[in-house]
Structures are given as C-alpha cells and as structure tokens.
Amino acid sequence: MESKTSEPKEQRSLEKPNPDHFDPTISPHCYPNGTPDEFFGEKDTTNQKRVGVLLIDHGSRNEASNERLKELARLYHEYSSNGGNIMVVQAAHMEIANPSIPEGLKTLLDQDVDEIVCHPYFLSANGRHVSEDIPAIINDAISSLDIAIPVVTTEPVGSLTDMMMGAIESLVQKSSTVLSET
C-alpha cells in the first residue's frame, strides 16, 4: 500500500508515532505503550447519517413473493453500504402481508434513522397504489407515529423507462430461442 507521505519508510519508522492510532507502516516496536486498539485510517462514524430505506410492494398471499422483497432489501442494504452514510433497509407491504408500511416505518424509527426514504417497488408509474394508496398510508403513519424526521418517497422503479427497456431487452435476449442462435 502506498503511503501518503513522501518521506522514506525507514525515516517514518524512526519517528515517534501517534500513540492514539496504529499506522501499519511504522514498526510496532516504536509505540512506547504498545500498539493502540484503534487503527490509523479507521472510519470516523461520528458525522455519518443513518438513512432508512423502506422498500414497499403490494403484498401477497404467496409467501415466496413476500420473501423476494425481503431478499431485495437485504441485497440493497449490501449494495448501498458504501462510504458516507449508514443505510438501514426494511421491506414492507401495502396490504395483505406483514410487515405493513406503518410497521416498517416504526422499525426504521427504532433504528434511530435521520431520514426515511420510501421506495414503491411497483412497475406502474401512474397506478392508483403508487399515486394515491401508498402516499395516504405513509401520511397516516407519519401522523399516528408522530414522526418528526424527514420522510420522502421516490418515484416507483417502473418510472425509470430507460432502465426498464434495458431489463426487458436483456430478458428477451436471454429467453428467445431464435435470438440466441445468432
């Protein structure tokens, strides 16, 4: 690993190290009280924000469909866990299955998030569930749970036409017996 200083490594190892941080480029023998527990360059999480993400689908009597949303929430959590902020991801269903949208919001609040971003996992960009039902459920939950942090809602995944065209094209190419011959 390349050092951020222009001094030769040998010279740095002779310097008196910062006793509060362990720098792996400096010999452990240079620390007068032994090596510290904290490593040089460790992330400082004091200024990180906790962003709650609520993935919302319709809900189903088919448990495999409900489990799919939970799996997407897990995968999105892994995907979004980079740099800056801490993402807390929860799945919720508009109706039929639990957790409900209010239950999902409560779970995120219990995780001490600084903001909640609700994402309707729906293909229809202008359907009644996306334009009326989900906003009403979220607004009722904000009132009943007395939520004091920002709660915003994204456009549904189906509103991203270019991305949807790419996904459709990929699936058509993969499934077609005629196109796969060429």
DSSP state letter for 161? H
In this structure, the number of other CB atoms found within 10 A of the CB of residue 180 comes to 9
How far apart are alpha carbons 169 and 171 in whole angstroms?
5
- 147: tokens are 């939520």
Residues with active-site annotation: 58
Considering all CA atoms of the chain, what is the largest pairwise distance in Å, rounded to the nearest integer? 72
Omega before 99 cis (within 30°)?
yes
Neighbours of 158 (CB within 10 A): 17
Q: What is the DSSP string of 60-95?
A: -SSHHHHHHHHHHHHHHHHHH--SSSEEEEEEEESS
